[in-house]
Amino acid sequence: MQIRKNDSVMVIAGRERGKTGKVLRVLPDKDALIIERVNLVKRHSKPRGPQQPGGIVEKEASIHASNLMIMCGKCNAPVRVGHKKLGDGKKIRICRRCGEALD
């Protein structure tokens, strides 16, 4: 998967199209990600004692990776990701639009 935790991404498909946010969690087995304040769902929770009362809780649901694109900091737009090997053998992700490193 080309998207990692703390990357800035934009939703390109679905009902949340156009929204941007930071990746909170990556779920590689489902090929999905959880994005901050995007794809919010309501869940009912039982009370678990005095510190954790019950009620309706809003939380982020996962979004499939194919519906997301990485935002480039320099272009300030959703971009495709390329890879480049540096002189010391390290592999980095680059923006296909401007060539800037994404890592």
Say which CATH number the domain at 24 has.
Answer: 2.30.30.30
Provide the domain count of the chain. Answer: 2
Do 64 and 95 have their domain in common?
no
14 and 62 fall within a common domain: yes
Task: Work out the pLDDT band at 79, boundaries 50, 70, 90.
Answer: very high
Q: Cα-flanking dihedrals φ and ψ of residue 26, to 5°?
A: -110, 130
- What pLDDT score was predicted for residue 13? 97
Q: Does one domain contain both 93 and 67? A: no
* Mean pLDDT calculated for residue range 51-68: 96
88 lies in the same domain as 61? no
Domain assignment of residue 41, given as a range: 1-47+55-71
Q: Which of 60, 72, 17, 14 minimizes the C-alpha distance to 35? A: 60
Q: What is the pTM of this model?
A: 0.90
One domain for residues 42 and 18:
yes
Give every strand in the sheet of 20-27, ordered side by side. 62-64, 32-35, 20-27, 8-11, 68-71, 78-79
Whether residues 95 and 66 share a domain: the answer is no
Contact 38, 59 (CB under 8 A): no
